[in-house]
Every structure is written in structure tokens, then in C-alpha cells.
Structure 1
Amino acid sequence: MSSGISIGVVGGGAATVCLIDALARSEGDPGGITVFEPSPHLWRGRAYQVDTETLRVNAPPDDMSVRAGDPGHFERWLETRDRVTGVRQGVDRMSGARFAPRPVYGAYLEESAYAALAELRRKGWRVDIIGEAVTSAARLADRVLLRTGPGSSRAFDYVVLSVGGDSPKDVYGLGGTPGFVGDPYPVSGALGDIGEDEHVAVIGSGLTAVDIVLSLVSRGHQGPISLLSRRGVLPGVRQRPVHVELRHLTPDRMRGTAKGRRELAVEDVAAVLRAEFRDAGADLDAVIHEIIRVDLEDPVDRLRRQIDEVDSPRMGLRILQRAVPETGPDVWPMLREAEKIQVLRAHYRTIMSLCCPMPPGSAAVLLELVEAGQLEMFSGLLDVTPAEDSGFDVLAADGTAFRADRVISAVNAAEGRIPAGAMPLVTSLIRARAASRHPHGGLQLARATSRLTSNGRPDPRLYGLGNIAAGTLFFTFGIPSLVDRSQDIVAAILEHSATVQAARGEAEPVAA
């Protein structure tokens, strides 16, 4: 059994699957890896747990592979499953693209995780899975001590924080009120007791809200459904997939543009973006117009227009959807701070709605429900309060007021908000000056390595993966982004380990 490096991973969701797959395909000497995950959703996380297969991932298979350099990994897995089950699930009725059921993707994550762990064991690695929460950490001279409870601790050479995102926000303080659903997942359980004729109000209009509406309808719900939000911005509608190969807006080209400079201006990025659009024959102005007018266009009109553009040959949105997750994490840290703030305040949620679009078949169902009068969308939401007898009173900015029987929260946690369960651990690292909060959320990280930083100094023993990198990185949660970051982390750990081993070898006296 090898006595090589030891790696502790806090969290066992989709991001960790990407990490251990990258580690299993690395060339480093064998060591030990320990994964801490207290929830029953090991490898699946909250998003891909066992649930109704009405829920779909919102990207085609080649954007959902956990294996670096192998975009066909998930698609081949699906094809094997199709042959075994005799059923081909998730084919979109409008675009013909495949959007797998989320529980099926969760099964892929599980199988990929166990296959990677088996490969690590074959190479001589020790593997441990511990179903406990890490409550605090201490930075030792050359190790990191993780505590899981009174008197229980383990020390590791390297630690990766992969703690996922937080649960939905209870914006209006409705927790504990009869009829309020604070967390809609799994929908098969959370929505199970809703009467088919009840008026359901959903707070939020993002992908979670879409999940709720589709799930209710698939269960035969006949009552009215209201989507409530401050802006009324639905996810964009994904166009028919067309392969996009970035030529200019690539991580390497952007690093070259920034070489010798402390920071980039938005104009610098815009110049590269214009070159990308020009070479592809795409219309950058049309995409800018799409972003700017989101608050000026009626949500239903926007939904209908984007459905009509599913087969559009125009490449603008497709380029944006490729560039943001692929190059965004490298470009974002280079931008001037004032311009980051401006983008976050003015355009972040709009860009995310376009870069994380829903399948066109899902959009078509929403439009059908609107046209049938069952679904309404309300923007300018002001308040939701428990009614005196039962139900909830809803008030919008335009004076619209109505009574709903049930209210479901689909409000995502603030970007970069540290999950409540991970706060004690993060707080212990900050107090020990081993980590520092980023002003835009999450923790401060070194862009190239994902090492945690404190006072501007990257720590080669501590790393962050996924949502905890929000603020430092613009796009943190898509599978392609997680795969890229996982590669960077594994490479950084192995490089540092090799450097330490070489230094130790040079320091050892030569035997006479």
C-alpha cells in the first residue's frame, strides 16, 4: 500500500466526480483520497438526486461529460443505457437534441465516480468515503487538519473544498407556514400533497421554477399557476445545437492579450469578442440588443420569439454560450474591479439566463400553458404574506393582488453564498487566516490553480472547486467549467507534491 500524498475532499457532489475522474487519469504516484459527504445524495448532489424523470438537464450530452478531453463520454454512457433499457429518453420534441432526465444524469455521475475510484484503487490509491460533515479546519505546518466532530479529526497533505451551493432563499420569511414549500427538491415528495385544483404561486422564474411548473403539469395539475419574480426573466430558450469552435476568445489568447498588464478593460474583451463574431459571420449587435432589452420586453413575447428562433442559423447566442463557461473563468479575474461591479449589477442574471437556457420543448410547454390561461407570469413582485384564514396574499408593483393556496420557493441562493452547512468550516479557515472572503461572494482563489488565497498569497495545500469560487470566477457551476477547474487542481497538487519530494531528496544526506 502506497504512503504517497493524502487528499481530503469536502463535499461529494458532481464537482467532486469531475475531480476524482481527473485524478484517476493523472500520472501521479499513488496516495490516498478521502471524500466527506454527510447527505444521502453522494455523487448526485441536490440537483441530480433520485426524482421524477420529468426533470431534464438543460444541456446536450457533449456539455455534460465529466471526463476532460472526452465530450462523448456521457453520450456513450447514454447509448449503452438505451440498449439495456430499450428506451431512448430525453429527446427534445422541437430541436431533436437530447436533454437527459436529471435522475438519469445522477446515475451517470454515480457510475463515473465509482469507476474512477476503482481505477484509483487499481493504481494503488487508498480510498475512503466518510458520511460526516467537516465542521472546522486547522492549517498545520505542511498539512491541513479536518475535524468532523468532537475528538474526531484527520490530517491531509491537500484539501479541496467542493461544498456546492446553498438551498433556496426564504425571501419573505414564510418558513414553517402551512402550505409553503421552502425547498422543492425532490419534487416527487415536495409537491406530492398539492391538490390538482389549487392555485400554486412559485416565487422565482429561473430553471427551478420551470422544473416546478413542468412537474405539476406532468402530475395532472389543473389549477392556476403563477410565476412571481421581481424582473420576470425566464431562462433563455436553447437553440438547436451547432458545434462552435472558439478562435479568438480562448483562455490562451486572452492570457496573451493580458500579458504584461495588471488588468483588462471591458473594451479589450469586446475587441476580441468582435473578432470572434466577425470570423463566424455572427451579429454581435444582435446579442448585445438581446441582453439590453430583457427588461423592456414582455416575458411571454420574449418566450414566444425565442421559441421561433430555435432553428435560427445565426450563431451569436451559441458563441456566447460557449465562451462564457469556457473562457469566462480566465477572463473575469483580469477585468478592472469597477467594471466587474458594473457587469454584476447590470447584466449578470441576464447573461446567465442566456448561457443556461432551458430545452425548447420545456419552453413550448410553458407557452402552451400561458396560451391556455393556466400559467401567468408576474414581474415587480413586492410581497407574499400568509393570509389570515389560509393561503397567501400576493402583491405586485402594478397593484395586482391575489390569493394563492400554495407557495413554492424557487429563489436560488445568492451567487457565491457559502452553504449554511459549510459556514463553520469556512469561518474556521478565515479566522485562521488560511482563507479570505471575496467581496462578490465565495472565497478568494488563485485563478490558474484554484488555490485558496489569504492576503494575496495562494496556499498550495488548500483548493476551492465549484460555487465557492464565485466572485473570483464568473462562471463556476457548469459541468465544463468544473471539469476544467478539476484538471487545474489535480495538476497543481501533483506539481507541488513533486516539488516537495524533490526538495526533500536534495536535502537528504548521501550515504557514505
Structure 2
Amino acid sequence: MDVGVIGGGASAVCLLDALAQSDGVSGSITIFEPGDELWRGRPFECDVDALRVNAPPDEMSVRFGDPEHFQRWLAARDLLVESADSDQDPFCGMRFVPRARFGEYLEQSAHAALLSLLEQGWQLDVVRDRVDSVLPDAHGLVLKTAGGRRLAVDSAVLCVGGGRPADSYALRGLPGYLPDPYPVSCNLDVVDADADVDVLGCGLTGVDVVLALAAGGHRARIRLLSRSGILPGVRQRPLAHELHHFTAERFRTVAARGGTLTVQSLIRIMQDELREVGEDLTQISAELVAMAAESPAERLRRNLAEVDSDSKALRIVQRAVPETGPDVWPLLPAAEKDELLGSHYREIMSLCCPMSPSSAATLLALIDRGQLEILSGIESIDPREGNGFVVTTAGGQHESDVMINGINPATNKISPKAESLIASLVAAQLAERHPRGGLHVERETSRLTLGGKPDPRLYALGDLAAGSLFFTFGIPSLVDRAQDIACALLSDVSMVRGDSALQTV
């Protein structure tokens, strides 16, 4: 079996680890990655320590079925390098490590997986070039790189990352506009500490920018701007709870039977889950109402005060929705998917992708001393005469010296660097674009589909599957989908070898 892995970030690491844990098959694996941050990808490149992973270690393992894999790596590193005290969140007791350190874990996990694969007899190669096109041939696929290299493979896994922040207000090229904050150690270094700064976007990326500016000693005013003004929620102290109703297994069974679900039926299943621990949806409903009724600062302050809340409902929902999202999503009617994405996406992300309490405390401290303001209802952003910007929101007009684009890249957008690759797949009738972005994929295997028929030669892992699936970007989802792909790849090889044995007999 000859496999091409297109992209060398976190998705590829999860796939390599899944393959390394599956003994009994060997072949060749070629990884294509033109970027400087091999294995880390854009989210976990070397950067300032103020940027931290927004999930605890037990949710960040790259090893399927082993949630303590990252925790063990951290414990070993602590013995050799430093204490974990600086990572401990004083509000909830959880550990939120710098993203660059998680990138270190990804690198070492990739190296360990490659070594294991070599010991199992695999041939490995890493090509520092971009795959620009994929074409079918008589036996499988031919991958062609920008540098002119051609490689024949049996199967290819598309692990290309997502897009960059969108230039929603056509500001690119204007003096004082920074189109992408990452890596902040380089891109924010040009921002004068006494410049008034506006940050576009109130999601986790926008929060990152504010935290990085504050850590760097920024002295002037900072404003977070967005249409909704909805900040990420605040992660509560962890709760030990095993899902019994809202489970991936349940939804996979429904899919296997050809069934469907509605949002109302999902709500009833979640009510059953909460009822088992003496809870209901009251807190969840109240939190959704508060996103519109409370000011961002009021909600942030309340969320931080509720880190030790006695209620279990929010914790259960925050675990269940990301964990089961890829299994639930294909079962919903198209109209309900459109409604969730079009009208409720920001609320879902705020509930289920929260910031750490320490991050919330830093934002509140900046708000309380008058340095940070959160504004919603952007109406227009215009260049100021000379330099800078004039911003009009629902609450009035103000001026700023610097505008930083902190809008979260849409998960259904294809990276510009992958457009030629995707165009070649579509032109060769190997794939079809999904109307919500990315490509059509099969839920069970993550194989690309054309007219609903899966192609055993092609797989998508990560953002390219976001049109067909949901929560494709988090490490737990990547790990689960990587396991699906590894099983499908190895199953295909076993079937081929079985057929060959029968023919020999």
C-alpha cells in the first residue's frame, strides 16, 4: 500500500499515530508539506506563551483510545525542563499549556510514529513541496507537486489546513491594517504600544490578540469589534461524567439503519442525558438568552463567577456536542443545518469552545481599568485621512490607529494554497465541492464522495470535511476521523490481499 499524505500539520500527526498503532500491514507513506512548521501547522507554531491551548490535556491527546497520552508526555517533560505551576489555571485547577508547547508534543509524536512505522517495515519520505494536482491512473492516483515531482500512490489523504482570516471589510493594503495576527511574536511586534488598536472578531482568535497585546505591555486602548459581540464562554471546573444517551455510538447506530434526526429530537436526547444527573436545559437556555440580553462584559464577569457552579448542565453540553458533532451532523435535515450555521453558529461556538478562566480574568482586568472595550454591530470601517481608521458601530463612531484582523477563519473555507489541488480533483471527477464549503465526504470513512459514491482512493481529514461534518477542527475530532481513515485504508489492503490469496489457491 502506497499512501500520500497531503499536508504535514496536526491532522497528519493524528493519522500517522493511528497507522503506527495498527500492526500487520506495511507499504510506503509520503508526506507533502511545503511550510516551515512541519507537524505543528498554523495553530501550534512557535509563538509567545500568552497563546494557550483552550482545552485541558486529556482533550488534546493524538492517540486514539488513550486520552492520557499528552498528560504523560507533559509529566515526562516537567521532570526534565520545568515545573507545570505556570500552566495551572488558579480559577479551575486545569492546566492550559502554551500552544507552542503543544506543537512540541506534535513534533515528538510524529517522530515517534515515524520510528514505529519504520520498525514495522514501512518506507517513509517527507517532501517539502506542495501538491498542486491529483490525477487518476490505471492503478490509483498520481500526485503532482508545484516543483514538478510526480508520485504514484494507491491512496491519498488530504490533510490541508483551513483558510486565513477573511478580509471582510476590504482593508488589505491600507496602512495600519494587519491581515493576520499569527505568529503574534512577529506580526504584532510592529504595533506601537501607544497606538489605539481595533481587533476584528470576538472569537478565540480575537481574544488571543488581546492577550498577546496585554502580555507585550500595550498601553493604549484596545477594542474588540464584531457584528454580534458574542465572546467565547468560560470553561468551568472539570466534571467527571460518562455520556449515556447523547453518545457517538447511538448516532452511528441511527446512521447505520438509514435513519435521520431533527434538532428537536436531539434536544430530547440531551434532556435525557441531563435528567440522569438531576439537571435540565434551564441553564443552557438562560445562557443562550444572555448572549443577546447581557453586555459582553457582564456575561464575561458572570461566566467567570460561575467557574465553580454546582450545575452540571453546561459542562455536559460542552463535552457532548464537540464529541458527537461529526456523528450527529449527517443525520440532520439540510434546512436545519443551514439554520444552525446561518443563525446560531456563533452561539454554538461560544458554548462549546470556551476560553480558560485565566484568559477571562485578564480581559476583565483590562475592561475594569478602561483599556479594553467590546463593541458589536459593526456598520462600516473606512480609512482615516493620513492613516488609521474610522469605525462606525451601532453605538457610534470612533477612530483607531491600527486594525488587526482577528476573525476566525471559517471552517468551511478552503485554504488559498490548496485551491489548485481542489480544482484538479473536481476537474478529474474525483471530488465535488460541498455547498457549505470543503468537499463531500462519507461520514463512516471520511472518503471523498462523488454523487454520493465514496472513492476508496481519496480521504479528507480536517477542515476540508467541514461541509459534510461538524467540529472537524478540534484534536478529538481529528483523532477519531484519523482512526476511521486508518481502519478504512488497512481494511482495503486486507481485502486485496485476501482476494489475491483466493486467486492463488
- Taking structure 1 as the reference length, the TM-score comes to 0.96
Pick from 57, 66, 70 the counterpart of residue 70 of structure 1: 66
* Secondary structure class of the residue paired with 1:54: coil
Pick from 6, 22, 27 the counterpart of residue 31 of structure 1: 27
* Secondary structure class of the residue paired with 1:110: helix
* Secondary structure class of the residue paired with 1:486: helix
In 1, are the aligned partners of 2:35 and 2:128 still within 8 Å (CA)? yes
In 1, are the aligned partners of 2:411 and 2:473 still within 8 Å (CA)? no
Whole-Å separation in 1 of the counterparts to 2:314 and 2:128: 42
Q: Equivalences for 1:349-368 in 2 at 5 Å?
A: 349-368=346-365
Give the equivalent residue in structure 2 for 1:40. 36
2:146 corresponds to which letter in structure 1?
G
Deviations 1:240-265 (A, max 9, x none): 11122111111212233455444222
* Secondary structure class of the residue paired with 1:154: strand
Whole-Å separation in 1 of the counterparts to 2:277 and 2:427: 50
Give the equivalent residue in structure 2 for 1:110. 107
In 2, are the aligned partners of 1:198 and 1:406 still within 8 Å (CA)? yes
Deviates more, 1:408-417 or 1:253-262: 253-262
Report how far residue 463 of structure 1 moved.
0.3
1:28–1:436 Cα change, 3 Å: farther
Deviates more, 1:87-96 or 1:490-499: 87-96
1:446 aligns with 2:442: yes
* Secondary structure class of the residue paired with 1:135: strand
Q: Equivalences for 1:169-248 in 2 at 5 Å?
A: 169-248=166-245
Pick from 401, 405, 418 the counterpart of residue 422 of structure 1: 418
Report how far residue 28 of structure 1 moved.
3.5
Report how far residue 289 of structure 1 moved.
3.0
Whole-Å separation in 2 of the counterparts to 1:292 and 1:27: 51
* Secondary structure class of the residue paired with 2:390: strand
Gaps of 5+ in 2: none
Pick from 279, 282, 286 the counterpart of residue 283 of structure 2: 286
Report how far residue 414 of structure 1 moved.
2.3
In 2, are the aligned partners of 1:133 and 1:148 still within 8 Å (CA)? yes
Q: Percent identity?
A: 50
Give the equivalent residue in structure 2 for 1:474. 470
Q: Equivalences for 1:195-344 in 2 at 5 Å?
A: 195-257=192-254, 260-344=257-341
1:438 corresponds to which letter in structure 2?
H
Whole-Å separation in 2 of the counterparts to 1:259 and 1:108: 36
Whole-Å separation in 2 of the counterparts to 1:347 and 1:154: 43
Whole-Å separation in 1 of the counterparts to 2:96 and 2:58: 11
1:172 corresponds to which letter in structure 2?
Y
Report how far residue 92 of structure 1 moved.
0.9
Whole-Å separation in 2 of the counterparts to 1:86 and 1:457: 52
1:229–1:419 Cα change, 3 Å: same
2:168 corresponds to which letter in structure 1?
V
Report how far residue 319 of structure 1 moved.
1.1
In 2, are the aligned partners of 1:291 and 1:347 still within 8 Å (CA)? no
Give the equivalent residue in structure 1 for 2:117. 120
Whole-Å separation in 1 of the counterparts to 2:318 and 2:13: 23
Whole-Å separation in 2 of the counterparts to 1:349 and 1:50: 28
Give the equivalent residue in structure 1 for 2:56. 60
Deviates more, 1:486-495 or 1:277-286: 277-286
Report how far residue 373 of structure 1 moved.
0.3
Deviates more, 1:28-37 or 1:479-488: 28-37
Pick from 2, 6, 11 the counterpart of residue 6 of structure 1: 2
Give the equivalent residue in structure 2 for 1:91. 88
1:86–1:258 Cα change, 3 Å: closer
In 2, are the aligned partners of 1:258 and 1:264 still within 8 Å (CA)? no
Give the equivalent residue in structure 2 for 1:485. 481
Moved over 4 A (4+): none
1:494 aligns with 2:490: yes
Give the equivalent residue in structure 1 for 2:458. 462
- Taking structure 2 as the reference length, the TM-score comes to 0.97
* Secondary structure class of the residue paired with 1:384: strand
Give the equivalent residue in structure 1 for 2:134. 137
Whole-Å separation in 1 of the counterparts to 2:254 and 2:114: 39
Give the equivalent residue in structure 2 for 1:382. 379
Gaps of 5+ in 1: none
Whole-Å separation in 1 of the counterparts to 2:6 and 2:253: 34
Report how far residue 403 of structure 1 moved.
1.2
Report how far residue 464 of structure 1 moved.
0.4
* Secondary structure class of the residue paired with 2:498: helix
Deviations 1:117-163 (A, max 9, x none): 01101111111111100001112233111100364210111100010
Give the equivalent residue in structure 2 for 1:406. 402
Deviates more, 1:40-49 or 1:267-276: 267-276
Deviations 1:443-480 (A, max 9, x none): 10100000000011000110000111102111101111
Report how far residue 394 of structure 1 moved.
0.9
Deviations 1:149-204 (A, max 9, x none): 36421011110001011111111121122211111111011111211111011011
In 1, are the aligned partners of 2:17 and 2:109 still within 8 Å (CA)? yes
1:299–1:261 Cα change, 3 Å: same
Aligned length: 504
1:229 corresponds to which letter in structure 2?
S
Whole-Å separation in 1 of the counterparts to 2:397 and 2:56: 40
1:261–1:148 Cα change, 3 Å: closer
1:309 corresponds to which letter in structure 2?
E
Give the equivalent residue in structure 2 for 1:395. 392
Deviations 1:223-275 (A, max 9, x none): 00010100001111000111221111112122334554442222222221111
In 1, are the aligned partners of 2:33 and 2:129 still within 8 Å (CA)? yes
Report how far residue 15 of structure 1 moved.
1.1
Whole-Å separation in 2 of the counterparts to 1:72 and 1:205: 32
